[in-house]
Amino acid sequence: MPPLVLVVGCAVGLLSLAPTVALAWTRIGETPEVTLYVNRNSIEKVDTVRRVWEMQDLKTPDAEGVRSRRYLNEYDCNYKMHRMGQMTSFSGPKMTGEKVATVNEMGYWRKIPPNGVFVLTYIAVCIE
């Protein structure tokens, strides 16, 4: 096999792996209503704020027919707060089915409830 063909073949092979690595969802917690996943490859650190992509997989559809959602969550590690934005909701589990809704803006900063699933992500991204 000529060297150029081998290099191109390897490059194409590596590119085909990129989406798998980019979307490496890790289950981080669960309640009776929802399972929370985090994309550990997406964690960004800016001073005391951590940004991470998360996915919620609902056990049953909500009133709007949403079964899963993907969103960017920002965590303020000093003040134990978070805010979400860039959310896309889907009618199927794990971001499948039809897109039900999209919200691009970031929401308001809120305290992280001590017994909710977001405290698990806070611990994973803020407590080192």
- Domain residue extents for the chain: 24-126
Cβ–Cβ under 8 Å, residues 35 and 25: no
Give the mean pLDDT of 45-68: 96
In the CATH hierarchy, which top-level class contains the domain 24-126?
A: mainly beta
**Sequence-distant (≥ 6) Cβ neighbours of residue 30 within 8 angstroms:** 36, 117
- Give pTM, 2 decimals: 0.79
Q: Which pLDDT value is given to residue 24?
A: 87
Q: Which pLDDT value is given to residue 106?
A: 95
